[in-house]
Amino acid sequence: MKKAFSLSIPLLFVFTLSRAQSNNSDTTRRYIKVPSGYLMVLRQGDDILKKIEEFAISEKIPSANFTAMGFVNVQFGFFDAATKKYIPKDFKNVEMASMPGTIAWQDAKVSIHTHGVVGDRDFNAYAGHILSATVSTGSLEVMITPHDKKLERKFEEPLGANVLQLGN
Amino acid sequence: MKKAFSLSIPLLFVFTLSRAQSNNSDTTRRYIKVPSGYLMVLRQGDDILKKIEEFAISEKIPSANFTAMGFVNVQFGFFDAATKKYIPKDFKNVEMASMPGTIAWQDAKVSIHTHGVVGDRDFNAYAGHILSATVSTGSLEVMITPHDKKLERKFEEPLGANVLQLGN
Amino acid sequence: MKKAFSLSIPLLFVFTLSRAQSNNSDTTRRYIKVPSGYLMVLRQGDDILKKIEEFAISEKIPSANFTAMGFVNVQFGFFDAATKKYIPKDFKNVEMASMPGTIAWQDAKVSIHTHGVVGDRDFNAYAGHILSATVSTGSLEVMITPHDKKLERKFEEPLGANVLQLGN
């Protein structure tokens, strides 16, 4: 175990470096303005939630709905009401068949809530709350419909979940 | 069996009373107007189809498309062409990963047609035509895009199915 | 085998003729204009990708997003990175629970990219990239949101996949 660990440091370093370089050198535009909002095309290796977050900050999005499809690696999480934690599971190289979500704000940070349905090479489907996702060998096409009101998510008790607030 | 039945009457009464009270006291706004339509956030215990129906009547929606995601209890139904009836199945405490639908009218009543994909705690996915659904421990976020034409659904023979009519 | 083959020619002819006739005689309108785009209702026997393609040509759609739901026969395909070919699988008489897609252009032809999630009579879900699909006993409701920029898909190497181009 110890040997494996000491080996993994330079490997991780190389991998991180290569990822960073590829992201730095890839200056391809990721989104354009369209009449109904924004059309985003994320590319191999992109961190999906991070890219949507950066977009929301750059374009000063008060709130938005989006829907996406593509080819991804995804980590789903199921919220365990007893432990109040997400139980995660990874799915690699799967078709993202449907991925609806919303963009809002929480504690001055972008708050993305998104679910997804993926299909593996035998077309078996898996669905859940998305904890993280990257684009695999392909792309992710995202249609974003912004709203004009700044919306906040708030952790509600005794529910134990974040809920999008519409005001009263 | 008989004892169980006699016991269930007061239990059902208490449950119904508590549901009704919680619904009456919860005056939180369920939707707001946004440039592209309406953003709806349904809350724990809400009857999803009923809330969308009430919305359609209140806002005089001629017809609309919508898409939703959240955490639900849902009853799917598969239409049996032989018996002309839906075979139902319930899924409790599941992530609603994708729920597209349309709002139209039929016999002067709101007609909602909606399908859904849900994921259980192991992320296994199930999909089908939605007969009924309530919000579980969480919320349901719904984006509604209204149209300007009043559209009707009509039962078509020999198809044996309701079809959204676009006129001729 | 030889006898079966000689028999299949007239049978195929009759089947093709009957399909052509039914499609010719069904002049029901397939889509209408709505404020946010187009609402399409495809009907039993319609070739879904062909109808969307014909729509894109007729209405001179520069590019668009769409989302659909209904009752279909569908052929999914999973892209095998080794052979660079899709491995296909058919699903008959299934609920199309969610079907997001985009319309663009490639080599002066309409290029449709669409994924789907279907549910069978036991509500088991299957998901993937759609190679072809027809409407089964029911309909398919499609909401199409057009964009104002003509967008092209381009086959990118070394990725080995078609990617929607947003310009630079």
User: Chains A, C: CB contacts under 8 A, how many?
Assistant: 110
Q: What is the mean pLDDT of residues B109-116?
A: 98
Chains that touch B (3 or more CB pairs under 8 A): A, C
* Residue C19 confidence (pLDDT): 43
Strand, helix or coil for residue C137? strand
Rounded Cα distance between A159 and B29, Å, is 17
- Contact criterion met (CB < 8 Å) for A148 and B34: yes
- Give the bridge partners for C114, in sequence order: C101
Rounded Cα distance between B53 and A114, Å, is 25
Q: Give the other-Cβ count within 10 Å of B17's Cβ.
A: 10
Percent of chain B with pLDDT over 70: 85
- Contact criterion met (CB < 8 Å) for A28 and C166: yes
Tokens for C101, please give them. 């897609």
- Mean pLDDT is lowest, of A141-155, B73-87, C44-58, for B73-87
Tokens for B92, please give them. 């409790």
Q: Cα–Cα distances in Å, from C141 out to B51, C56, C85?
A: 22, 16, 30
Beta-sheet pairing, C109-119 with C85-106? antiparallel
Mutation target for C interface from A27, A33, A43, A69: give the one with most C CBs within 10 A: A69
- Contact criterion met (CB < 8 Å) for C41 and B164: yes
* Residue B78 confidence (pLDDT): 97
What confidence category does residue B92 fall into, taking pLDDT thresholds of 50, 70 and 90?
very high
Of A89, A149, A164, the CB nearest to B41: A164
Question: What ipTM was assigned to the predicted interfaces of this complex?
Answer: 0.85
CA B138 to chain A, closest CA, distance in angstroms equals 6
Of C127, C164, C167, the CB nearest to A95: C127
Q: What is the mean pLDDT of residues A14-29?
A: 56
Of A114, A161, A166, the CB nearest to B137: A161
Length of chain B: 168
Rounded Cα distance between A104 and A110, Å, is 6
Length of chain A: 168
What confidence category does residue A25 fall into, taking pLDDT thresholds of 50, 70 and 90?
low
Environment class of A167 (CB within 10 Å of its CB; exposed 0-12, middle 13-18, buried 19+) = exposed
**Residue from A133, A139, A138, A142 nearest A73 by CA:** A133
Beta strand extents in C81-158 (DSSP E only): 85-106, 109-119, 125-147, 153-156
Q: What is the mean pLDDT of residues A33-61?
A: 98
- Contact criterion met (CB < 8 Å) for C159 and A97: no
Following CA atoms B161, B89, B63, C151 in sequence, which dihedral angle do they give, to the nearest 10 degrees? -90
Task: Give the mean pLDDT of chain B.
Answer: 88
Q: What is the mean pLDDT of residues C129-151?
A: 98
Rounded Cα distance between B70 and B136, Å, is 9
Condensed to tens digits (0 to 9), the pLDDT of residues C38-88 reads 999 999 999 999 999 999 999 999 999 999 999 999 999 999 888 889 999
- Structural contact between residues A146 and A64, judged by C-beta atoms closer than 8 angstroms: yes
pLDDT at A41 over 80: yes
What confidence category does residue C25 fall into, taking pLDDT thresholds of 50, 70 and 90?
low
C-chain residues near A72 (CB < 8 A): none
What confidence category does residue B1 fall into, taking pLDDT thresholds of 50, 70 and 90?
very low
- Structural contact between residues B63 and B94, judged by C-beta atoms closer than 8 angstroms: no
Condensed to tens digits (0 to 9), the pLDDT of residues B143-154 reads 999 999 999 999
Q: What is the mean pLDDT of residues C127-144?
A: 98
Strand, helix or coil for residue B22? helix
Chains that touch C (3 or more CB pairs under 8 A): A, B
Rounded Cα distance between B118 and B98, Å, is 7
Q: Which region holds residue A81: left if phi is over 0, alpha if psi is between -120 and 50, else beta?
A: alpha
pLDDT at B25 over 90: no
pLDDT at B24 over 80: no
A-chain residues near C161 (CB < 8 A): 71, 137-139
Condensed to tens digits (0 to 9), the pLDDT of residues A80-129 reads 888 889 999 999 999 999 999 999 999 999 999 999 999 999 999 999 99
